[in-house]
Structure 1
Amino acid sequence: MDEEKANLIAYVKSGKNRLKVLEIIKKHKKLVFASDIADEVGIRVNHMGTLLRELAEKGLLNNPNPSNKRQKLYQISEKGKEILNYFKE
């Protein structure tokens, strides 16, 4: 296992909702709004926005409409799927 992957696993594991968010987005198999994810996780949308932005910056999520500041859509990236699979083993 390389250092980047180990660091991402530690990052996901150290956050209360990070793994749950990745699982929810993967389950949807389509683009998802932050508000939809926040409803499923049970946290406020402003907190979810911060969490999603961090996950995207780490390369675990894709944001195909970054210019839309109000209604961002997210999907899990290949790197995110790889990290999520680590927790399923």
Structure 2
Amino acid sequence: MCESEEFLELVAYVRASNRRMDIIKFLSYDLKTPKEIGNELNIRTNHISNLLADLRKRDLVVCVTPNVHKGRLYKLTDNGNKVLNYL
């Protein structure tokens, strides 16, 4: 399977951090809140928010409830699912 250089850079970006990899893998199961992700992965919620923001900027995750202030739900994008296959 021949992937673009841009896509392979996304895979490398995720693989460079165990926390980013863990978030991608954890989101593969269902919609999750930052608190649920933090509790499962033993990472503080404010750090999870920063990680999710970075993953969102790279179109790997999306917030499906952007108008909710507390308890926002996140899921993988199509790109996120493709990257997951390489982890």
Does the TM-score normalized on the shorter chain lie above 0.5? yes
Q: Mean Cα displacement is larger for which, 32-41 or 70-79?
A: 70-79
RMSD over aligned Cα atoms: 1.2
Aligned residue-pair number: 85
In structure 2, the residue matched to 1:3 is 5
Aligned ranges for residues 1-89 of structure 1 at < 5 Å? 1-27=3-29, 29=30, 31-87=31-87
What is the Cα deviation at residue 53 of structure 1? Answer: 1.1
Identity of aligned residues (%): 29
In structure 2, the gaps of 5 or more residues are: none
TM superposition shift of 1:70: 3.1
TM-score for both structures, normalised by structure 1: 0.87
| TM-score normalised by structure 2 residue count | 0.89
Task: Find the aligned partners of 1:68 and 1:11 in 2 and give their Cα distance.
Answer: 29
